[in-house]
Structures are given as structure tokens and as C-alpha cells.
Structure 1
Amino acid sequence: MKHIFTVCLLLTITILSAQEKGSIVGKLTDKEVNNEPLAFANVIIKGTTIGTTSDFDGLYEIASLDPGTYTIQVSYLGYETAEIPGIEVVAGKVTTLNVPMSASEGVSLDEVTVTTVARKDSETALLLDQKKTVTLETAIGAQELARKGANDAATALSKVTGISKEEGSGNVYVRGLGDRFNITTLNGLPLPSNNTSKKNIDLGIFSTSIIESIGIDKTFNASNYGDFGGANINILSRDYNGSGFFELTAQSGANTEAIGVDNFYLNDGPDFSGFYNSDIPNNPFSNTFSTSWDRKKTASPINSKFILKGGDSYNLGENTRLNFFAIGSFANNNNYRQGVNRGAPNVGNGLPNSDFDYERFSYITSTTLMSNIGLRLGTGNSIKYNFLLLNNSEQKQEEFTGIIDREDDAPEGGGFIQRATFDRTSLYIHQLLGEHNINENLEINWGTAYNYVKNVIPDRRQNTLLPVKNNQPDGPKSFALVSAASENHRFYQELDEEEIAANISSTYKFEKNAEEEFNGKITLGYNGRFKNVDFDATQFNYQFLNVAQQPEVNPRNIDAYFEENPLSSGLYQIRTFRGPSSFADALLPQTYGGEQQINAAFITFEYSFSTKFTLFAGARGEQITQDINWNTVIQGEGNNNLDIFEFLPSLALKYALNDKNNLRFAASRTYTLPQFKERAPFLFQEEINQDSFGNPDLVNSINYNFDLRWELFPSSSELISLGVFGKLIQDPINTFLVVSAANDLSYANTGDTATAFGAELEVRLNILDHEKETENTFLKEALTIGGNISYLNTNQELDSKKVSSETSLSAAFTNTEAPLQGASDILLNGDISYYLEFAEEKNFRSTLAANYFSERLYALGSTGRGHLIDKGYVTLDLISKAEFGKHIGIGLNLRNLLNPIIKRVNENAKGKLDLENPAIPGFLEDGPVTVLSYRRGMDLSASLTYKF
């Protein structure tokens, strides 16, 4: 209680003192280089020692000034000192002073402005934007991304309060809500998914080198699409407006687990570049496939990355400016996992039905090409074209050794499964954006986009071998006892998705106040999104015959079996899911596809009733149609149509206690739309022992969202905020275990309601901000800390009868309640950064960043089994960078320093295996059974950057 009283007293003193003081903030620009930001200039109160320096973006703040009139002096080495008299500081207010500096002339007072225009990649600028906005928006910019060493958008978002990254993917959980609750946009226009299993694009494929900032809106704004429950994540692509530059970066490194193995193995076929593809051969039933079944040894698994980027801008007239920016990059990464992989425990004895020692070798590539061209016409019109190409691939060589089926295949061990997979996604994005200020009251913004995504899995190969004799697990192996034809197969998949999107809005501002700003703003707009999806897949299964004549097979030379035993030997036949070659439609692929159309109109109203109180209200109407058709083995030919209209109101309130303190409230109604894959009755076999299919009877969920937050901005670069939130979800959608002989996964509205309540605390503080004067310049030293913590409590009803009555599927949930999938009770992020200038244009920066999430639900428990739970762990990264003059910089990144064990368990199981004696049946005691366990390894890399 004593500590609580002390904290409350300090906060009270801070608020009261802030009301008695004022501050001066602004931006310094350099007239010598097209008004680029002027960093590290000195700003002082004349006749005093009170002052500061501008940051990387030319921004500065002199805080806690007594009310009065001051003369401000701005100086920079080699530039004329600017002296601006008569600057008034008012208690509880911020005076903004922007100054253009010149080397050859003084500052004319008519050049001094009181409007701050800030770049969107600066931490300080984004924090100032967050302070001024009415809605609950958060952003992380390029400057912060570099400081925290985030290589991609997914990793960057994991540094934000209340957001965690899904293990093994580039998807994120926002306040415990996973992929289906979020929406991802690029420059405000929607993005397609690159994965049939996901609604959102994998954020891991967006390199931070192409990102100016990432905006995270955890509350619904009526100008955004209503398919929203967790967050609207908007990526702003990098732009450029300065003088010409060209930059080259080379990086090399390794993963400790990958380089720790004696040999590294991958698939036959795919190459270094990641642009590989392979078509089905002309006569597949004759076994004319060109790639090997066997793994192949590769060179040393060294990671590398290369980036080329440049930009320039030109004055085409007095008020016309053309700018362009382009970047090309290629990166590859090698990873290795070794651990255990087990199936769900049997209800009777607590032992997992399958029990494998598991190895996975993987090689990942990422190729990026991005360019944008911008044309500014006068002060009120701009047009921009963006192009983005992303090509991402991963090849995996996975091997499983042990018990395949405790009651059937290799019950005492000795079973062997290998799977070779190459998965490639190519994404093409074209965007045309326009902004037009018709006059000081009216502005129009518009944007159009054409997106095309192609995902291919060409020639996935799987082999399964069993001991010739079940009681001799270490003895010879063969195909003889493999009963299911699909256990040995070659699989081809192709997904094509085309999308056209359009935004247009018109904003009218009214009622100008004494500060020459408008109190009110009304925006009318339209959003359209039109998507076509086309998916097809064919699998060639090897059915083995004549069990008594099957020869022994060397697991490391499976090619030899097929070379010595051609199709004419009669030992096997090739068939698809539709049947053998004698069937007329044997080569007809399984397909699903369809169209999705969203047409929406919205209106928003913003009004400042005073300098302290602002209201932002909106309403949106969306007409959604989702037509899906399929031709699959599960249900033959069919179709299903979803046609709904949603009215989506929203409200946001902001009350400024003073210039440093805000109170915010937000409430809204949104929905969650099922995805094509979740509704398509197609059998996906994406993982060993993890098959799933869609449910055409799925309907959308309805979400009610509430937020309350307090913010304190001690300075232009500091923040303390505390927020609470709540969500009510009607008809939540979940993945569940279907009651069937196959135990497949599917999707359903598994209960009537779900709730989520939580609290978030965020802190960013400057511990040290010191300057040392030398003969030629001022050298800066700074130490900053940041951190955030989120607490989350979620609960949802589980109703097996609801699933049975509303769908053609059956469910048998073990529990009647459960947390939301992917929700962790506690999320923690923390970082400490040190910056030192040891000479002019020579500096060093280092950041230590940590992240923790507590255990979270992976899948609902069913048929007497407990939930599958991902255990929590801590990651720790060290990112360092040094610059030696204008041209050369080096970096050293050490990621995942603690290298924790990543573990998934089945809770409430009746026992756990004796891991010291795994061959002995039985269990030690009641407790969770580990079903997946491995280490990711530490990623070590060094980089060199040269600026021309």
C-alpha cells in the first residue's frame, strides 16, 4: 500500500506541475539540402543554459518552462545562428516553433512556422501523432525497427504492447485473438493471404527495409473494413523525398542449431534462388517423376542477405516535385530442429498414439523488389504509384522415427516417415494513390490496387516404411505392411488469387478556431474489395501389393526400390484420391474456389468541443457475399453462398487533462468472416498426423469491442500509458477435433459467446540524455528504456450440441469452457538502448530486447483429451550497429540468445511417458504429455553497409 501511495503521489505531482509549466517543440530543417531535417542542431533559451538538440528527424523539445516570453537561439556548425524573439510560453500548453536553417543567410521571421510536419519513421514523430490522434492508434517506425533489430514486420509487431508472434509463422496474436480476427493492409489498401490456411498475409515476408512504419489500430474505425476483432495492421511502404542516394548492404550469419549438425540435408529439385516450380509429368501413372525420393546433402548452411536501395527527387517546376525510391533484396536462412513429435494421448492409458524422434532441415528464401514514384503538383495534389514483388519459399526435409500407431503400425517403434516439401508464394502488388486538397476546407483521397498471389507446392514427397517384423524395431524395413496408399505419395497444389480493391473518401473541415485549426471534420467514403480464388490439388498415392513378395528397403536409398522394381513388377500401383489410371477422371484435380465481394459505405464525424475534449464517431454499412464451389472426394461437387449485411457503428472519445495527459475511450461493433479454406470440404494433409477439412455451414461471428486508456507524455520521446479493454464475441469460430475414425480437424461456431478482458501498461523513458561539446561539434550520449506488459483473461463456451445441430459434423468437447486459441495470460516486452557519438558522423548504438509470453491454447481438447497448450518462453536479442563517417556502417545481431526449449503439451492427460526408458509401456504419474519439443537455435549475423 505504501508503494501504491508513493506512485499515486508522484503521478499527481507530475500532472499538477505540468499544468503550471509550458514547453516549446518544433522541427529544424536544412535549406541547403531541400529542407531535409537538420539533426543535432543546438536549441537554447537565450541568456540561460536551458536547451536541447534536435533528433534524427530535426525534432526537438524544451520542456517544463515557466510561462513567459523567450528568445530562442538555434545554432549548427557552419550555419548562421538563428535568433527568434518573442516566443510565448503558456502554462499547460505547447508552443510549436519550426525553423529553417541556412549556411549563407539568416532566418527571416516569415519563414518561421507553427505547424509540425513529421516523418512517419521517427519514434518521436510517431509518438507525437499518437498523442494528437483521437482513436487508439499505435505505430512503430523504421527508426525503432532498426534500433530493436526487427528484420520483418511480424517480429516488429511482437515488440508492441499486447501482440505476440505465432511460433513458426509470420502471423500474430493481438490481445489473444489470432489470424482470423485481424486485417492487414498496405498503404490503407487490403492485402491477400499467401497461405490457404490463413486469412492474413504472412507478415514475416515483409522485410523492414521496405517499411516506413507499421500502424496498429486496436480499435475499430468506420473507415476500415469491418472484418476486425483484434487489430487493423497497416504497413506504410518506404517513401523518399530527399537528395539522391544509393546504398548497398551485405549480411552473413548462421543458426547455431543448423551449423551444429554434422550434415545438412534438403530436397532434390529446388534451387538456391527459391523460384523453383515443377509440373505434373505427362504420364504420372507410369512413375515418370524426375526428382529423387531421397534427401540430398547440401553445402554448409550459411545464411546471407543482400540489399540494394536508392532514391532521388527532382524539382520539375516551382511547385512540382518528382521522387522515386527502389529497393531489391535477397535473403536466405537455414534452420534445423531436433526433438520429439507425439500424437494425442489415448484416453485409456495416457500414452500418445504416435511417438517420434523428429528432425527437420529447412531452407528459406525471400526476394523483394519494390519501387514507388511520387508526383507532387503544387501544395495540394499528389499522386503515387507503388509496385511490390515478393517471392518467398521454404523447402523442408522432415524425418520421423518411432511408433507410428501404437495399436497398429510399428507399435514397438522402428517406423520411418520422411517428407520433402517445397512451398513457394509469389505476390504482385500494384497501387495507385492520390491526395487532393481542393481548398482549405475540402480534401479528397483515393486509392486503387490490383493484387495477385500464386502459391505452389510442387511435388511434395512422402515415404513411410515399417519394420518387416513388429517385434524387431531395429530390424530391416519395407513397404509390405503399409496399408494406406496415401502414406507414400507425390502431391501438387496450386492456389491463384486475384483481387481488386478501391478506396475513396472526401473530408470537409469546418469551424476554424482561434489557432487557425478546424474544430470539425466530416468524412464520407466508399471501400470495395473483389476477390477471386482458384485452388486445385492432385495427389499420386503408391499402393503396395503382394505383401509376401515385398523386398527390404533401405530408408536412405528409396530410389533403388523403384529402379529395381518398375511398375510392371506388380508390387505397387499409382492412384489418385479418385482412383487408379483406369478411372476416367483419375487425373481430375480436387478443386475449390469462388468469389468474395465487399461493398461498403461509411461516414465519420470528428469534433473538438474544446481544446481538451474531442469526439470521433462513425458508422459503416457492409454488404458481403462469399460464393464458394468445390469438387472434392469428401463431398463431390457442390456450392454454398454466404450473403450478409452488417451495420457497424463506432465511437471514440479523447479528453486532454493537459498537454501531457490524455484519457481515451472507444467502443464498436464488428464481425469475423470465415475464410474459403474453412468452408471448403477439401482434405488438407499439411502436417504429419494433422489433417483438416472445411465446413460449409460456418457463419460469421459478431464482435463488441470496448477500450479505455490513459496516456502520459513526459516529453516528445517518452510515454507512459495504461489501458483496459473488453470484447464480447458471439458465435466464435474455432478449430476442433471432429468425432470420427480419422480424428480430423475442422472448423465450427463452437459456442454462443466468448469474452476477453485485459489490461496493458507501456513505458518509454529517457534515462540519460547528455551532450559533450568539442572543438567542432556537440557529441550526444543517450540511454533509453522501454517496456510493456499485458494481462489477458479469455473464456469461451463450448457446446457440442450446437455444432451437431448447426452443421453436419459431430463434436465431443472435453470441457464446457476454454480460453481463446492463441491467448496468453501475460505478454512482456522490454528493451534498453545505448547511443554514443564518439566523433562527428561516427557513432555506436546497441539495444538489448527481451520478449516473453505465458502458455497459450493451441487446440481445443476433445473426446476426453485435454487441450493442446504451447508453453511460454523468453527470447533475448542483442542488436548493435556502428557508423564510421558518411559511407560505412557495420552491424552485429545476436538473436534468441537464451535458445529456450519450445514445447507443446497435452494437458490433463492421465500420465506421461518415462522419458528415461521410452521403450517401456506405461506412465509415471498424472500430468501433461509433451507432444512437441525442439530448440530454434541462436541466429548470429554480421552486416556491412556502404552508402554512395
Structure 2
Amino acid sequence: MIKISYYVALVVTLVTAQVSGAKAQSFGVKGKVLDVETYQPISGVSIKIANTQYATSTDNAGEFSITLPEKQGEYVLVSTFVGYDTDSTSFHLQPSEWEFVPVTLVNKNSTLEEVVITRRREYISEAALLAERKASNLMLEKIGAQELSRKGVSDAAAAVSQLSGVSRQEGSTQVYVRGLGDRYISTSLNGLPIPASDPNLKNIGLDMFTTDVVDYVGVDKSYHSPLNGDFGGATVNIGSKDFKGDKFFEVSLGSAVNSNAVKQWDNFYLQEGPNFFGYSDYNAPADAQGSYHFKNGWDPKRKTLLPMNFALKAGDSFNVGSEGRMTLFGMVNFSNGYGAREGVNSSYSAQGAPLKALNQSQQSYTANTTGMLNANYQINANHKLTYNFMYVNAGNQYRDKFTGYIRDGGVDAENYRGTINRSTFSSTQLFINQLLGKHTLTDKIELDWGLAYNHVKGDMPDRLQSMHSETASGEHHFIRINAADNHRYTYYLKENELAANIAASYKIGDDKGKLTVGYNGRMKERSFDVMQLNFNILDGQQNTTTIDPANLNQYLGAAGYGTFYNIVGLAGNAFQTYTGDQDIHAGFASLDYRLTDRLTGVLGMRYENIKQYVDFYSIEYSRGQNTLNKNGLLPSLNLKYELNNKNNLRLGASKTYTLPQFKERARFPYEEVTQTFVGNQYLYASDNYNLDLKWEMFPSDGELYSIAAFGKYIENPINEIIVSSTANDVSYANTGEKGYVYGIEIEAKKYLMNLSNDKLSIGFNTAIMKTDQKFDPEKVFKETQGLINIDPTSVSSKFTGASDFIVNADLSYLKSFDATRSLTATLLYNYYSDKLNAIGTGGRGNLVDKGLGTLDFVLKSKLTRHLGIDLAARNILNPSFERWQQNVDPIKVLSYKRGAFFSLGVNYKF
């Protein structure tokens, strides 16, 4: 138990030590604001001299200064911050001197008994994050735990999509920031990088991070030198849970259902093998030739739907010695979800002739298990250590049935019907270990550092595909035109990564600025192994043997081996692999300097040494290896001009780059249902030039108006594009000399009613943008030494994933009945306009996803101090997702409805 008197004495000592001897030609009042319970600095606190116009706010270190006229006398310093009691401190100003005033604030929710602190503040309230944004000299956008809870957001991917200029790709974990997708985004946890688990993607799926482990999600759209230089659209940083409070234990239970899945409650089938919690205990057999060695069969099994989620959370804090304090937080969470959809999934030629004209039905199951341990040791006011451990397992199952015309399967559109059955299970296991340190070495020097070791496994242990046709008389026969028509496929991805950050900062002069120098290192190793075993239907079987499609094990199981089929494991692309090493070492310097009373500049420079090595092998393309070396010199400038105490103007300018990924430079095929992807060893990094201009206004606590204009010029942009060949494979290339993105973002947060017990607020943000890039087939052919030839249908196009128009809006009502009972209702709407899915080639038009709007409703109640109930209805409008091929006469190639989602949750805090 720590008494307030101790903290006040400590604060006075610290502040006096930091500013002792500091004199300047100007004079006034200075100080530092600390939380009385944790003696941590509070940024964004409003500081005002009573009965005058003199005011300011604290910086990220909790410090402030106000220049006053040369007038001796008594003054009152008023400090206000949302969630805290207002503090008024009197001081006497001597002529030509600075007065140093320490300030300590007490949280409004604190219970003081014999001046003993028993509770702690919520650091990540909406108003607190806006105050931080206002005070920062950089362009920051964060969404915190309080807002995530109000909006019923369940994971980090959904959190990011609430911010301006951000959209989420339907049916994917990817997000797009200002029209730029996975390739142009970097992801970090507490400022340290996170590896990807999908070989197709650069970033890990943000939906793996449930909001139980998140304090906030921040997006940096304007670059500055401490950030990774592989920056095109944004850097997404997840701030993990940082518990500060008393001992507690909380249990949460809930369930979420999908309207489409409910309709198939008694007819829900999934692949045999994976268990309820998203784990599997089987792998592809090491020796698949000679006999049948598979553990799981071909036929899906009926599942009983048990939609549920539960979480256990616990935390405690206690004193260590006379100055230290330790806080511990642990969490275990499990959640699952069932989905179903039906609709069109087809492909067409440039002339509009069907290649596959199919109806798709899909049933899916996801299971996510998350565990987290957080330990904070505040050694004293100057030194803090933090350890974070996180474990995530995400299991995803899909059972797809495609039925209709299949040209390459030899199916006659008039007399026959073809069917493709595909069952897929993929699993991601992520282990994150982080050790962080923060130290105040002197009154001018601070040191921050972080170390991380991450390990990720991304496995697809067994994907099954079978194809059969149905005659006009109702008989079923296996299709065996190509060797891979019936196959089992597996991949294993493993990645280990070490990362280190260290930064030292030095305060310049009399609070004029700060110089920061630092190092970032990132060293990762990846291995990716693929095996596809083709089930070769023996001669005389195709179109002659009638099969029962509901009992495939009878034909493709152990009983049919050697008589009905054999396994071809050493032909075509059955075995392929690549390994990759990537080392990035960076040094940076940043000068944060107050040029005038209103103008502050942050000038940065970053140097990166990059080496990416890939070694690959496949039977079709043999063995190869290549190395990409790059030295990047990346300048950045951020300016902030304070028009007054409520209005800021900001400018950001920088140079960055975009690095190709391992898989894109490995020359081996990666096969999907309808497409084969092949890497390009001649691929190289593109360079990005970024410009941002923003005006923002903070009318009052928790309110914001903002308008931002942005532009990006991209040299040698990288694109995924179909290669001109008989196979029509997809590859990757620097497809032209340049591309650009520009647009504006508008953001508003406003209280329509702001009473003590009734609050009605509205939030709105929109982005209006344009993207364009020019294609140069001759450049591609020359740079790849004739390996890749492209034939884009148009000479230019938008960037894939870019929408011209994005809107997010929410209306929220909060009713407080008393200190322990409250009700919050929130209505959310999201809309994105048409976006390019794939670039058209060979005369075929672009694939375009039509605009889509979604509506959600969230109701959260606190019935007692301990008990809460949450209700949510999502995708209420249940719009149809549609993808069209833009031929002369546009053709719908994909269409489905996800269904509405309804959830109920109960939480009890002991």
C-alpha cells in the first residue's frame, strides 16, 4: 500500500532534479504531470493559467512549459484530463525566473481510504488517445480498448478497418490503407515486427489478435525514421494489454451464430481430422507410394454446431521494495465460428466463353485460441522492464463444392455436369516473446530498447480435391483429364525471427527539442515445403465406372489403391520447396525541435542495409537461388504548426521502399483452385515518395474534426499479373515505371449530447482517392531476360484493392444509471466503392469487386459492479458480394451472401 504523500515527495524530487540549474532568457512556469498511483507521465493534459489566455498541453513525457510576461505575483495552474480530478496548484512567479511546478493527478474512479490508492486509471480511453494525438508532433491515429468495446470489435483487423482510409478485403485477412494492400503495409506488436504465417502474404492476419489482448491499434500513415522503411501505405502497430490495477479475476462466456449456418444446422459437414479447438494430429505420409498411409479419409463428417467463446482474465499488482511495483496480467481465450454461403464462382475468356461456369456452396469453421502473459516491473521512477508472451492458434476449415460446366474437365455443358469437391484445413501457431526496457539515465538522456523472438508455423496438413461428372441419366464418374484433377496437397511453413530495437534520446537546451538516435535489426529465416500427391485414376476407369460421390473412400481410400488408382508423387510439381533468409540492419536519427512557440519540426534520416536470399527447388523449374541487396537512405520530415490551442496544421514528407517477398522471388509453382502462381527471381524493390497535409481541430475533450490530403508516387511498382503463355500462370513483376495514389480523408467525432449521465456521440470518417499505374510490357520482358511476357488488356489501371470511396460512421448512446450500472448502444455503418481485384490480360477485362455496405448494431450493458451482458447483430443488411469481369458485356464471376451474425456474451468480474 502506497501513500499519496510518498508519491508527491518523489515527484517533487524527480522534477527538481530534471530541471535544476535550467535557466533561459525567457521565463514562466514548467513542470511534469504524473499519475499519482503509478508515477508515470501523462501526455495530453490540458494546462492553463487561471483567468488568463495562457495554456498548453503536456508532451509524450508528461512535461509542459508556459512562457509568461515579466510580472511578479501569484498564479494558479489548472490541470485537466478526461477521467481525472481537476488539479489547481498555486505558485509564485519571481521576475526573470522559471518556476517549477510538479503536478500529480488522481483518477476519478480511485477509491481513497486513508489516502491509500486502491485503483488505477484507464489509459486507453477515446478522449485520452485524442489528447495524445493532439499533443504529438507526429501524425498518429489510434483506436483504443474503450472504443473497441463500445463498437463491439472482436479483433485487430476489424479495429483497423474503423479508421479513416482503411478497408478490409472480403473473404480475406488483408486490409487496405489508402488503396494499398498487404504488400505496402507493415505490422508490429509494441513496435517490434511480427512474422507472417501465410506464404502468400507479407503480414500476419490481424484477425488472429483478439481485443482481449489489445490496448490499442495504431496506424502510422505518415512515415518517420524510427519506423521500418518497408512502408508504402502504413505501419500497423498493436499495443498489447498493459494492465494497471488491483487484483481481479474475470470470466466471459458467449456465443455467436451465422444465419446461413443456422439454416444448415442438421446438414453441416466438414473434413475428417481437425478437432473442435482447431488442432490436428496428422501429417501427410512420408512414404505415400507403395501403399495407402493416410490417417483421415476423403468423405466429410457431419458436425454438431457448438458456437461458443469463453475467456479467463486475471491480474494483480504489488509493491517490490520501497520504490518498485510489479503488475501481472494473464489471459486465455477461445472462440469459434461457423459459416456457410452459396453462389456463383466462375471464370470466362476474353470473348465471354465460359471456362468454368460453377455454383459454389461452402461450409466453414474457424477456431481461435489465444494465451497471453504480461509482466511489468517498475523498478523505480526511472527504470521499467516489461515482458510479453503471446501464443495464438488459429484453425480454419473449409468444405467447398463447385458444380457446373468445366471446360478443361471434358464436361459437356448440355449433357453433363461436373463437380469439384475440395476440403481444406489450415493451422497457424504463433509464439511471441518480447522483453522491453525504458530508462531515464539523467535529466536529459532516456534509453528505450526491445528484444523479440518470434516463431510461427503455418501448416496445411492435408487438402483434398476430387472431381467427378454426372451424366444426363444421373450416373457419376471420376474426371481424370489432368493428373492433378484428384489429389491431396500439403504445405509446411516455418519462420523464426529475431528483432531488436534500441533508441537513446537527448533533450536539447531548455525544452527546445530532443535528438534521438537508434538501431533496428530484423533477422528471419523461413522454410516452405510443398507436396502434392496426384491420385491417378487407372486406365479404363474414367467415364466407365459408376461411383457413389457420397462414399469416395470406397474408391480413393485404401481399398482402391493399386486397383482403382495409384499415387503419382514424383511427377509434375509434386515436390517443391524454398528457404529464405532476410537480414535488415538499420540506423536512424530523429531531431524533434520547437522552431517557434507554435512550429515544431521532426527531421529524420534512416539508413537500411537489406539482404534477402532465396533458395528454391521444384521438378519443373529445377533448382535455383538468388540474392537481393539494397541500401536505402530514407529521409523524412514532419511539421506541426499550432494555429491555437485547439487547431493544428501538419505536414509530412518522406521516401520509403516496398520489398518483394520470398515466395515472389522463388521460381516454383504454387497452385490454387483455378490458378497457378510462379515466382520471378528478377523482381526488385520499388521506391515510394510520400506527402501528407492535415488540419485537425479538437473542439473539446473527446471531439475531433480533421481533413487530410495525401499523395504517393511509386517508382517501379510491383504487381501480380497473368503471364502470356499457354498455361496463363500468374507471376510478379515491376510492371511499369511509375504509379501514384492521391486523395483526401475527412474525420469527425462529435458529442450531440454530453450530459453527466447521458451522452450521444457520432463518429464519421471518409476517404476519397484515386490510384493509377502505367504498364510497360517491353520493360518487363527486358528486365526478366525474356522470362516473363505480359499482355495487359489496358495500358493503365488502378491499384488492386483500391476503392475510390470509403465511409465509416457510428452513432453511440451512453446512459449511466449510477456508479455501477450503464448501457451503451452503438450503430455502425461501413461502405466501400468498387475496387479492382485483378488486372485484365490477354483481352480479358479487369476483375472488379462491386461496392458494398454493411450495418452493425452493438448493445453493451453493465448490470452491476460485477456483471455485464453484451448483444450484437452484424451484417444486418446482408448484401450480396459480387465480382464482375469487365468485358464488353460485363459478366458476373463471383457472388454470394455471408449472412447475418448474432452474438450474446456474459462477463462476470470477481
**What residue identity is the alignment partner of 1:216?**
V
Match of 1:15?
A: none
Q: Deviations over 1:149-168 (max 9, x none)?
A: 11000001111000001111
Tell me, in whole angstroms, the C-alpha distance in 1 between the residues paired with 2:633 and 2:443: 32
| Secondary structure of 1:444 counterpart | strand
Q: Alpha-carbon deviation of 1:104?
A: 7.0
Tell me, in whole angstroms, the C-alpha distance in 1 between the residues paired with 2:245 and 2:295: 52
- The equivalences for 1:314-333 within 5 A come to 314-333=318-337
Contact 2:39 2:381 in 1 (8 A): no
Match of 2:488?
A: 490
The alpha-carbon distance between structure 1 residues 694 and 103, as it changes in their structure 2 partners (threshold 3 A), is: closer
Please state if 1:122 is matched with 2:128. no
Tell me, in whole angstroms, the C-alpha distance in 2 between the residues paired with 1:104 and 1:733: 60
Tell me, in whole angstroms, the C-alpha distance in 1 between the residues paired with 2:275 and 2:112: 57
Match of 2:604?
A: 618
Contact 2:408 2:481 in 1 (8 A): no
Tell me, in whole angstroms, the C-alpha distance in 2 between the residues paired with 1:461 and 1:259: 26
Tell me, in whole angstroms, the C-alpha distance in 2 between the residues paired with 1:822 and 1:830: 21
The alpha-carbon distance between structure 1 residues 524 and 119, as it changes in their structure 2 partners (threshold 3 A), is: farther
| Secondary structure of 1:128 counterpart | helix
Please state if 1:527 is matched with 2:520. yes
Q: 1:259 aligns with which of 262, 277, 283?
A: 262
Q: Alpha-carbon deviation of 1:44?
A: 15
Contact 2:624 2:667 in 1 (8 A): no
The alpha-carbon distance between structure 1 residues 721 and 641, as it changes in their structure 2 partners (threshold 3 A), is: same
Tell me, in whole angstroms, the C-alpha distance in 2 between the residues paired with 1:260 and 1:737: 39
| Secondary structure of 2:643 counterpart | strand
Tell me, in whole angstroms, the C-alpha distance in 2 between the residues paired with 1:206 and 1:832: 25
Which 10-residue stretch deviates more, 740-749 or 694-703?
A: 740-749
Q: Alpha-carbon deviation of 1:800?
A: 1.7
Match of 2:368?
A: 366
Please state if 1:825 is matched with 2:804. yes
Q: Alpha-carbon deviation of 1:125?
A: 1.0
Contact 1:192 1:499 in 2 (8 A): yes
Match of 1:559?
A: 553
Match of 1:863?
A: 842
Please state if 1:745 is matched with 2:730. yes
- The equivalences for 1:154-165 within 5 A come to 154-165=157-168
Please state if 1:289 is matched with 2:291. no
Q: 1:781 aligns with which of 758, 779, 785?
A: 758
Q: Alpha-carbon deviation of 1:770?
A: 1.2
| Secondary structure of 2:157 counterpart | helix
Match of 1:153?
A: 156
Q: Alpha-carbon deviation of 1:783?
A: 0.5
The alpha-carbon distance between structure 1 residues 148 and 96, as it changes in their structure 2 partners (threshold 3 A), is: farther
The alpha-carbon distance between structure 1 residues 897 and 103, as it changes in their structure 2 partners (threshold 3 A), is: closer
Tell me, in whole angstroms, the C-alpha distance in 1 between the residues paired with 2:465 and 2:778: 38
* Structure 1, unaligned runs of 5 or more: 1-24, 48-67, 89-94, 112-116, 513-517, 580-585, 772-779, 911-925
User: How many residues are paired up?
Assistant: 836
- The equivalences for 1:186-225 within 5 A come to 186-225=189-228
Tell me, in whole angstroms, the C-alpha distance in 1 between the residues paired with 2:665 and 2:671: 16
Match of 1:930?
A: 892
| Secondary structure of 2:562 counterpart | helix
Match of 2:26?
A: none
Please state if 1:796 is matched with 2:773. yes
Q: Alpha-carbon deviation of 1:336?
A: 0.5
Q: 1:100 aligns with which of 75, 83, 106?
A: 106
Q: Alpha-carbon deviation of 1:385?
A: 0.8
Tell me, in whole angstroms, the C-alpha distance in 2 between the residues paired with 1:885 and 1:565: 62
Q: Deviations over 1:508-550 (max 9, x none)?
A: 00112xxxxx111111100110010111111110112223674
Tell me, in whole angstroms, the C-alpha distance in 2 between the residues paired with 1:616 and 1:804: 42
**What residue identity is the alignment partner of 2:698?**
F
Contact 2:718 2:735 in 1 (8 A): yes
Match of 2:504?
A: 506
| Secondary structure of 2:494 counterpart | strand
Match of 1:920?
A: none
Q: Alpha-carbon deviation of 1:369?
A: 0.5
Q: Alpha-carbon deviation of 1:86?
A: 7.9
Contact 1:309 1:326 in 2 (8 A): yes
**What residue identity is the alignment partner of 2:141?**
T
Q: Deviations over 1:630-660 (max 9, x none)?
A: 1112311110110111110000111000010
Q: Alpha-carbon deviation of 1:742?
A: 2.0
Tell me, in whole angstroms, the C-alpha distance in 2 between the residues paired with 1:536 and 1:722: 47
Q: Deviations over 1:883-913 (max 9, x none)?
A: 1221100000111111110111111x14xxx
Q: Alpha-carbon deviation of 1:745?
A: 1.2
Please state if 1:429 is matched with 2:414. no
Tell me, in whole angstroms, the C-alpha distance in 2 between the residues paired with 1:80 and 1:284: 71
**What residue identity is the alignment partner of 1:767?**
L
- The equivalences for 1:311-390 within 5 A come to 311-343=315-347, 345-348=348-351, 350-390=352-392
Q: Alpha-carbon deviation of 1:855?
A: 0.7
Match of 1:299?
A: 304
Tell me, in whole angstroms, the C-alpha distance in 2 between the residues paired with 1:321 and 1:389: 26
Match of 2:628?
A: 642
- The equivalences for 1:393-792 within 5 A come to 393-405=395-407, 408-412=410-414, 413-467=416-470, 472=472, 475-479=474-478, 481-512=479-510, 518-547=511-540, 550-562=544-556, 566-569=560-563, 571-578=564-571, 589-686=575-672, 688-771=673-756, 780-792=757-769
Contact 1:593 1:628 in 2 (8 A): yes
* Structure 2, unaligned runs of 5 or more: 1-30, 52-73, 94-100
Please state if 1:181 is matched with 2:167. no
Contact 1:613 1:653 in 2 (8 A): yes
Tell me, in whole angstroms, the C-alpha distance in 1 between the residues paired with 2:580 and 2:249: 44
Tell me, in whole angstroms, the C-alpha distance in 2 between the residues paired with 1:670 and 1:564: 55
Contact 2:409 2:481 in 1 (8 A): no
Q: 1:888 aligns with which of 867, 880, 883?
A: 867
The alpha-carbon distance between structure 1 residues 555 and 528, as it changes in their structure 2 partners (threshold 3 A), is: same
Question: Between the two proteins, what is the percent identity of the paired residues?
Answer: 40
Q: Alpha-carbon deviation of 1:415?
A: 0.1
Contact 1:80 1:103 in 2 (8 A): no
Q: Alpha-carbon deviation of 1:35?
A: 8.5
Contact 1:265 1:296 in 2 (8 A): yes
Q: Alpha-carbon deviation of 1:696?
A: 1.0
Q: Alpha-carbon deviation of 1:404?
A: 1.3
Q: Deviations over 1:250-280 (max 9, x none)?
A: 0112000111125111011111011214122
**What residue identity is the alignment partner of 1:377?**
I
The alpha-carbon distance between structure 1 residues 495 and 656, as it changes in their structure 2 partners (threshold 3 A), is: same
Q: Alpha-carbon deviation of 1:566?
A: 2.7
TM-score (norm: length of structure 2): 0.88
The alpha-carbon distance between structure 1 residues 81 and 595, as it changes in their structure 2 partners (threshold 3 A), is: closer
Contact 1:634 1:681 in 2 (8 A): no
Please state if 1:310 is matched with 2:314. yes
Q: Alpha-carbon deviation of 1:729?
A: 0.2
**What residue identity is the alignment partner of 2:517?**
L
Tell me, in whole angstroms, the C-alpha distance in 2 between the residues paired with 1:746 and 1:565: 40
Q: Deviations over 1:115-154 (max 9, x none)?
A: xx98541111111111111121111110111111110000
| Secondary structure of 1:339 counterpart | strand
Contact 2:298 2:557 in 1 (8 A): no
| Secondary structure of 2:817 counterpart | strand
Q: Alpha-carbon deviation of 1:82?
A: 8.4
Aligned-residue Cα RMSD (Å) equals: 3.0
Q: Alpha-carbon deviation of 1:318?
A: 2.0
